[in-house]
Amino acid sequence: MKRRYFIKTITAGSAAAVLPLSLTGIGKLYAQKAPPDAVWVSNGEPNDLVARALKELGGMSRFISKGDVVVVKPNIGWDRNPSLAATTNPDVLAAVIKLCYEAGAKEVKVFDRTCNEPRRCYNNSKIEETAKKAGANVSQMRNNKYREIKIDGRMIDSWEIYEEYLDADKVINLPIAKHHSLSKVTLGLKNLMGVMGGNRGSLHSNFSQKIVDIDRKILPTLNIIDAYRTLVANGPQGGNPDHVKLTKTLIASPCIVTADKLALELFGHTINQVEHIRLAAEQGLAKYDPDKANVKRVNLG
């Protein structure tokens, strides 16, 4: 018993000695060398969430170079008010746009292929108004501006993608975290459907494989998941304020799979329950091993 007690004390003691070190000294050193693979910022207002997340990731200039044409792709899919959490929070979007310009972006473009009438969605979601104020070029998508690209996936051979998205220097994927009946959740991977042309309804059978096929070819530079408000039921349209949870969270990662997998915590799902994220991880869409990703968690509260 004595020996066991001795070992315990030693372990606890060394742990106590190492822990603060790793939190301060080593942590700092590590942060200077390589930023985390993903950040989870909670308990803040949209502006602070975005500012902190990008600071932790090493600043927007790590992703955006001077003179870049940047596409920020929010979710404007529905004719809903921001408080109903069916569309990306306009303040989060505005903060991201401003950071892009501060990093030297030449132009920030914002668009989405909507499900309801486009002008209604752009308007009611407050995205057009807010993004324009932040200096972005907000436009309705034009039918003649889709370009068919080779996919060569397991189920999709080729698909039409919006030209301005393909031609952009950098892309920031900015979904809102929502419940979805077919795919369980809609996060970064699914948000990219907003730049896909053609009959998107037909993607819904064998959805997971098809979305992984196409997404592989159009992966963004950076993924920021807006979970300031989270829609937890009746998604992806919502409509009932009771289904909206004020989660005040933002998740950001250059890796779409890591970001999506992290965001599953908001819903209490594991990656095995959400087929399209699991397939994306299995089929190599992740930049890091999502299980071993270095995640920095910051509580602003």
Instruction: Note whether 238 binds another protein by CB under 8 A.
Output: yes
| Minimum distance, C-beta of residue 297 to another protein, in the bound complex (Å) | 32
Cβ(161)–Cβ(195) below 8 Å: yes
Query: Across 75-164, where does the E strand assignment appear?
Result: 107-110, 137-138, 146-150, 158-162
Which residues within the stretch 198-227 sit at the binding site for another protein (CB under 8 A)?
199-202, 204-207
Rounded-to-integer distance, Cα 257 and Cα 249, Å? 18
If you write DSSP's letter for every residue of 173-199 in order, what string do you get? EE-EEEEETTTEEE-HHHHGGGGB-S-
| Minimum distance, C-beta of residue 193 to another protein, in the bound complex (Å) | 11
Which residues within the stretch 162-201 sit at the binding site for another protein (CB under 8 A)?
180-182, 199-201
Neighbouring-strand partners of residue 185: 179
| Minimum distance, C-beta of residue 211 to another protein, in the bound complex (Å) | 13
Residue with tokens 């950071």: 99
Select 87 or 253, whichever has its Cβ closest to another protein.
87
Cβ(46)–Cβ(192) below 8 Å: no
Rounded-to-integer distance, Cα 73 and Cα 165, Å? 9
In the list 58, 59, 197, 239, the residue contacting another protein (rule: CB under 8 A) is 239
Select 279 or 298, whichever has its Cβ closest to another protein.
279
Which residues within the stretch 3-62 sit at the binding site for another protein (CB under 8 A)?
none
Instruction: Note whether 144 binds another protein by CB under 8 A.
Output: yes
Instruction: Note whether 120 binds another protein by CB under 8 A.
Output: yes
Rounded-to-integer distance, Cα 253 and Cα 287, Å? 10
Local structure of 250: helix, strand or coil: strand
Binding mask 272-301 for another protein (x = CB under 8 A): ------------------------------
Select 190 or 261, whichever has its Cβ closest to another protein.
190
**Which structure tokens are listed for 85?**
């959490």
Rounded-to-integer distance, Cα 221 and Cα 170, Å? 6
| Minimum distance, C-beta of residue 278 to another protein, in the bound complex (Å) | 15
Question: Which secondary-structure segment (H or E) carries 249?
Answer: strand 244-253
| Minimum distance, C-beta of residue 237 to another protein, in the bound complex (Å) | 6
Judged by the rule CB under 8 A, the positions of this chain that interact with another protein are 79, 115-117, 119-120, 123-124, 140, 143-144, 180-182, 199-202, 204-207, 234, 236-240, 243
